[in-house]
Amino acid sequence: MKVAELFVRCLENEGVEYIFGVPGEETLDLMEALKDSKIEFIVTRHETGAAFMAGMMGRLTGKPGVCLSTLGPGATNMLTGVADANMNRAPIVAITAQAGMNRQHKESHQAYDLVSLYRPVTKWSASIRTPETTGEIIHKAFQLATTEKPGATHIELPEDIARLPVDGQPIQSSHPNKLQIEATDQSIQHAAELINHAKQPIILCGNGVARNKAEQQVLQLAEHIQTPVTETFMGKGTLPSNHPLAMLTTGFPGKDYIQVAFAKADLIITIGFDMFEYRPDRWNAQRTPILHIDSLEAEIDAHYPVRGEVVGDLQENIKRLIHALTPREQMDEWYQELRTRMREEIISMGEEEGYPLKPQRIMADLKSVLAHEDLILSDVGAHKIWMGRMYPADLPNTCLISNGLASMGYALPSAIAAKMVHPERNVVAVVGDGSFLMTGMELETAVRHQLPIIILIWRDDGYGLIQWKQLSQFQHSAYIKFGNPDFVSLAESFGALGYRVNQTNELVPILQKALTAKQPVIIDCPVDYTENMDLTKRLQAIAQEL
């Protein structure tokens, strides 16, 4: 048996169903071994797209997604998607080929030190240098990818090692990977004292709540002490958007309702929060005391002054904390008034008229046609700020946003993987015209695999988020405009359906048609981003008023 064959057996042993990637000369033996495997190799059009797909597979299933590239440019192309998964706490195992051992000691064609290159963006990066270590390295990569906090690992397989003979077996998993650490009684009691003494606490939920399936415990905690709950972009859906304690989302890069609420609070209870998601100096400039509830200890930050920590299994620790708390009868009146104003803004979204469509109207129309469990994946750009801040999510992991590395081009490849995981749900990728063309070639992958996803393009013929920042800082913009293809014709050339929104009331019927399609659909929707600065001005006025 060759190392490549053992490698594939080890992947099967770890429960791998799909590998996303682009084959290369140095992966020939591995591809040959995969030919007779039950693992399905999904050929992608770019290695970055392969890593985004693997990352979404890991985020939605909790099991490592797997991506593959050859050496050199294939490996460097894949790096961005791997780094994105790592910051999103999505378990992923990245496999790269490498030059043979006989040329690694010198300058050689396409050869870089990939173990060192991947080390800063993964939890662990290693090379198989001897056949006998194959099983150990693969098993360790999968174990580390899923242990809290999950992320990326990397395995390098030199081409000459791949074809060497080996006598070995996959290593069987001997223990579950679920974090089962319970906080000490002292830390639970101290946390309860902090909450009981606080007059205006507020809860901030991050990505870790969904990852640890602790949304029910968070809801019980919030209701027990009648404390408002806000969510990061990656924590959306922790509470249903219409729940009386739901303060919706925080993450807007400037003064917003929630920043005012944080300033009013005398204790901020963070649950499953990662600093990757939202820098503390953006929401805690006043350095309000923090109660940190998470699977691991808090990162050190001057604007994250931890006064208590409850570390370990979120579900069990929150249950124990609830029993130690004094219940409260109702949410603070000031928070209630603030929530009312926030809800009024969300409700008014569907009333926006005009063409091109305003961001609020696009979101309202999209919400009106989708079920609570349907999946929306927002790419990075001005549309991400609107979707993150205002789109009402009602379940965890239904409005999926990359806000760690926040890499453009994330949504379309991720939507492909999301539809593979949840074929029974509608899947919509919300993209800008800038981000779409960074990974738009993966539309062919969706067509080839007959995955009926919807790609909703907010078209403004420029980098809208950068223009927004420039206007806010310099009162003018520069170097942000570009041209676009005919997106309808582009979709049809790939074998997908294409629609263009030509007036405001067309978006809903087009979305309804797209939801019944049996193939991928692109919707070209012009957007009026003059609303960006109008929003900035409204929020500045709100901050002064409150």
**Using H for helix, E for strand and C for coil, what is the string for 89-149?**
CCCEEEEEEECCHHHCCCCCCCCCCHHHHHHHHCCEEEECCCHHHHHHHHHHHHHHHHCCC
Whole domain around residue 24: which residue ranges?
3-162
Could you tell me what percentage of the chain is helix, strand and coil, using 3-state DSSP and rounding each to the nearest 5? 45, 15, 35
**How many Cβ atoms sit within 10 Å of the Cβ of residue 124?**
19
Output the pLDDT for position 80: 97
Residue 189 sits in the same domain as residue 59: no
Above 80 in pLDDT, residue 104?
A: no
User: Coil, helix or strand for 325?
Assistant: coil
Residue 383 sits in the same domain as residue 503: yes
Residue 63 sits at φ, ψ, to 5 deg, of -105, 145
Q: CATH number of the domain that 150 lies in?
A: 3.40.50.970
Per DSSP bridges, beta strands 306-311 and 375-378 are unpaired
Output the pLDDT for position 176: 57
* Token pair belonging to 186: 């002292």
User: Quick check: is 175 in a domain?
Assistant: no
* Average pLDDT of the residues in 8-12: 96
* Token pair belonging to 197: 């003494």
* Average pLDDT of the residues in 527-533: 90
Above 80 in pLDDT, residue 539?
A: no
| Digit-coded pLDDT (tens) for 330-385 | 888 889 888 888 888 888 877 888 899 999 999 999 999 999 999 999 999 999 99
Above 70 in pLDDT, residue 174?
A: no
User: Quick check: is 168 in a domain?
Assistant: no
Above 90 in pLDDT, residue 536?
A: no
Residue 197 sits in the same domain as residue 304: yes
- Counting residues of the chain whose pLDDT is more than 90, the rounded percentage is 81
User: Which among 126, 147, 162 is the end of a domain?
Assistant: 162
- Counting residues of the chain whose pLDDT is more than 70, the rounded percentage is 97
For CA atoms 302, 308, 312, 314, give the dihedral sign: negative
Residue 124 sits in the same domain as residue 196: no
449 falls in which pLDDT band (50, 70, 90)? very high
Please name the residue that has the structure tokens 């770019």.
46
* 301 burial type by CB count under 10 A (0-12 exposed, 13-18 middle, 19+ buried): middle
Q: How far apart are CA 86 and CA 65, in angstroms?
A: 12
User: Coil, helix or strand for 308?
Assistant: strand
Above 80 in pLDDT, residue 468?
A: yes
Residue 331 sits in the same domain as residue 390: no
Output the pLDDT for position 12: 96
* 197 burial type by CB count under 10 A (0-12 exposed, 13-18 middle, 19+ buried): exposed
User: Quick check: is 414 in a domain?
Assistant: yes
- Residue 311 has what DSSP assignment? E
Output the pLDDT for position 66: 98
Q: CATH number of the domain that 304 lies in?
A: 3.40.50.1220
User: Quick check: is 167 in a domain?
Assistant: no
Residue 519 sits in the same domain as residue 462: yes
Residue 216 sits in the same domain as residue 260: yes
Q: How far apart are CA 355 and CA 469, in angstroms?
A: 23
Output the pLDDT for position 110: 65
| Digit-coded pLDDT (tens) for 211-266 | 999 999 999 999 999 999 999 999 999 999 999 999 989 988 777 888 889 999 99
Residue 391 sits in the same domain as residue 438: yes
Residue 392 sits in the same domain as residue 290: no
User: Which among 313, 340, 367 is the end of a domain?
Assistant: 340
Above 70 in pLDDT, residue 28?
A: yes
* Average pLDDT of the residues in 514-542: 90
Q: How far apart are CA 468 and CA 529, in angstroms?
A: 8
* Token pair belonging to 360: 């609020």
User: Quick check: is 499 in a domain?
Assistant: yes
Residue 92 sits in the same domain as residue 122: yes
| Digit-coded pLDDT (tens) for 150-172 | 999 999 999 999 999 999 889 98
| Digit-coded pLDDT (tens) for 278-313 | 999 999 999 999 999 999 999 999 999 999 999 999
Residue 336 sits in the same domain as residue 357: no
* CA separation, residue 58 to residues 77, 84, 434 (Å): 19, 12, 26
Q: Which of 114-118, 426-430, 471-475, 516-520 has the lowest mean pLDDT?
A: 471-475
Query: Which of the pair, 546 or 39, is modelled with greater confidence?
Result: 39
* Token pair belonging to 332: 């603070």
User: Quick check: is 212 in a domain?
Assistant: yes
Residue 246 sits at φ, ψ, to 5 deg, of -80, 115
Task: Count the domains in the chain.
Answer: 3
Q: How far apart are CA 358 and CA 355, in angstroms?
A: 7
What's the whole-number average pLDDT of the chain?
Answer: 93
Output the pLDDT for position 172: 85
| Digit-coded pLDDT (tens) for 106-149 | 676 767 899 999 999 999 999 999 999 999 999 999 999 999 99
Residue 214 sits at φ, ψ, to 5 deg, of -110, 15
**Sequence-distant (≥ 6) Cβ neighbours of residue 197 within 8 angstroms:** none
Above 60 in pLDDT, residue 175?
A: no
Output the pLDDT for position 245: 95
User: Which among 131, 162, 193 is the end of a domain?
Assistant: 162
* CA separation, residue 199 to residues 227, 293, 542 (Å): 10, 19, 23
* Alpha carbon of residue 127 to chain centroid: 28
Q: How far apart are CA 139 and CA 120, in angstroms?
A: 21
Given a contact cutoff of 8 angstroms between Cβ atoms, the answer to whether 425 and 454 are in contact is: no
Residue 7 sits in the same domain as residue 152: yes
24-42: b (≥16 Cβ within 10 Å) or e: bebbbbbbebbeeeebebb
User: Quick check: is 417 in a domain?
Assistant: yes
